[in-house]
A and B are shown apart, each in its own frame.
Chain A
Amino acid sequence: MSILKGHKVAIFGERDDVAGSSVRSCVLAAGADVVYETTSCFV
């Protein structure tokens, strides 16, 4: 059973690790519904 397909997802990316935009592309391709996305810098 898919973890992502059909689920609403909030994304928290990191500027120096994996950006939110990359995570968004991945989860959208897996069939998730992105409801929030941000890319922060925790340094």
Chain B
Amino acid sequence: MLVFGLNEPGNLRIMATTFKDGDPGYAGVLGGIALGLKSYHIFELQEEIPADVWEREMAFKMLEVEDALIQQICDIMREIRGD
């Protein structure tokens, strides 16, 4: 599986789509090649991470990001995984 740390929705969508269904722009070597890999953003995985590690590595970074953007990121990832 893939775990992303990038927060720009457009780039995130293209990368996650490429690793699942192949490059949507047919511009790279994965054009038309569906690897079927599941992608997650690290923001979706908080419940999986021990609290002390999350606090040290991620808590401040999440404060820097608008709640609406976090929601948008999570929605995009769920949509692409087909959850």
Q: B-contacting residues of A (Cβ < 8 Å)?
A: 2-5, 7-14, 17-20, 22-23, 25-27, 29-30, 39-40, 42
For B3, B4, B57, the residue with the greatest tally of chain A CB atoms inside 10 Å of its CB is: B3
Please state if B15 and A3 are interface contacts (CB–CB under 8 Å). no
Known contacts: A17-B61, A25-B53, A25-B57. The answer to whether A3 contacts B5 by CB under 8 A is no
Taking a contact as CB atoms closer than 8 A, the residue among A3, A17, A22, A25 that contacts B6 in the complex is A17
State the B residues within 8 Å of A (CB).
Answer: 1-8, 11, 15, 40, 42, 45, 48-50, 53-54, 56-58, 61
If A17-B61, A25-B53, A29-B53 touch, whether A3 touches B2 (CB-CB below 8 Å) is no
A-B contact count (CB 8 A): 82
Having A23-B4, A27-B3, one finds 5 other A-B pairs with CB under 8 Å, namely: A8-B1, A13-B5, A25-B57, A30-B45, A30-B48
Q: Which interface residue of B7, B40, B56, B57 has the most chain A CB atoms within 10 A?
A: B57
CA distance A2 to B12 in the complex (A): 23
A residues in contact with B45, CB < 8 Å:
3-4, 26-27, 30
Q: Is B49 a contact of A18 with CB atoms below 8 Å?
A: no
